[in-house]
Amino acid sequence: MNKKVMLVRQFKSTNGCTEGQKACVRGLGLRRLNQTVCVEDTPATRGMLTKVSHLVEIIESGNHAVPFDDKEHDDQDSRKRAETDYEYLERSLPRLDIKYNCNHSPHVLILGAGASYAAFPKGDRNGLKLPLMNNLVEVLELEDLISKHGFKYKGENFEATYDALVQSGKYDGLVSEIDQSVEHYFQQMELPEEATIYDYLVLSLRSKDIIATFNWDPFLAKAFQRNMNVIGYEQMPQIAFLHGNVSIGVCNDCKSKGWRYNSCDKCQNQFGPSKLLYPVSKKDYSSDPFLDSEWKNLQHHIKNAYFITVFGYY
């Protein structure tokens, strides 16, 4: 017997949700963020989706025949047909709702390394200057620190200098001090009190959309926080921190993330810092579980995106 099916995806975490909402998500067969499953289209399933619409989205539905007859459920041919149906539904993007003239595919916004500098040319609330890679050593006043360890800095791009230090294997102490100095400097930065471009940005996007940022500064995260407190977390877009961020902490044991000085919901331990610096010649983000998941989240959204906007690359 052919039955109507739906392709559904969990696009937000169940952290902070009620037990009933978590049970609905599990009942749909969803176990992790960005997982996509094919479910039968029934009133009961629709009811569950309504209860968790702020966590789960319907990617597609239709009569793209998957035989769910109980006698054939474990049959190999049946599983192959189900896979074919799944692939068909996944390819049927963008998700344009003709009735309401609304597109349900995500808008992907990528903020390059120069985005925060362009958005905050005068620096933070107290005038603390935002550095770029070509002047980070000077802005953070790292010249004396580098010289003290016997390394000759000649005004190179910071990424090239950091790469040379790491690859030499002779300056582990200096590398550690630079890591700490960079994190401390950016942690001091405060978002201006008046509305900023980042405030308008997070308010202009939907919960299905994603902002992917390469910036270490806390401005986007803080704009997200203060607007989340006004309109609610479920209304906010997702954010992927592709190079880590001073406002974001991670728990590698539980594979979870949160605000830097909060505690993990699962183990109650305080989040550790997300890694910021990598040698430019060996940027293997897959070696870091947190960054790997951020990149995979972005890749998933790009695959299904209807709009992609890139801002702030130099």
Per-residue pLDDT of 262-294, as tens digits, reads 998 889 999 999 999 988 887 778 888 999 999
Is the domain 2-92 a CATH 3.30.1390.20 member?
yes
Q: What integer is the mean pLDDT of 142-149?
A: 94
Give the containing element (helix H, strand E) for 1: none
Q: Is the pLDDT of residue 84 over 60?
A: no
Distance CA 195, CA 209 (A): 21
Per-residue pLDDT of 3-16, as tens digits, reads 577 888 898 888 88
* The pLDDT of residue 95: 59
Q: What integer is the mean pLDDT of 105-112?
A: 92
Q: Is the pLDDT of residue 72 over 50?
A: no
Q: What integer is the mean pLDDT of 227-249?
A: 92
Strand order in the sheet with 238-241: 238-241, 210-213, 107-111, 307-311
Q: What integer is the mean pLDDT of 85-92?
A: 48
Per-residue pLDDT of 298-308, as tens digits, reads 998 998 888 89
| Residue type for position 68 | F
> Which distant-in-sequence residues (6+ apart) come within 8 Å of 160 by Cβ?
280
* The pLDDT of residue 5: 75
Q: What integer is the mean pLDDT of 125-143?
A: 94
Residue 90 contacts residue 289 (beta carbons within 8 Å): no
- Judge residue 63's burial from the number of C-beta atoms within 10 Å of its C-beta, 0-12 exposed, 13-18 middle, 19 or more buried: exposed
Per-domain boundaries in the chain:
2-92, 107-121+189-311, 136-187
Per-residue pLDDT of 218-237, as tens digits, reads 999 999 999 998 888 888 99
Distance CA 187, CA 278 (A): 19
- Place 79 in a pLDDT band, splitting at 50, 70 and 90: very low
Q: Is the pLDDT of residue 206 over 60?
A: yes
- Rg, C-alpha atoms of the chain: 23
Q: Is the pLDDT of residue 53 over 70?
A: yes
- Tell me how many degrees the CA angle 95-101-102 measures, rounded to the nearest 5: 45
With a pLDDT cut of 90, the percent of the chain lying above it is: 49
Q: Is the pLDDT of residue 177 over 90?
A: yes
pTM reported for the whole predicted model: 0.70
Give the containing element (helix H, strand E) for 23: helix 19-27
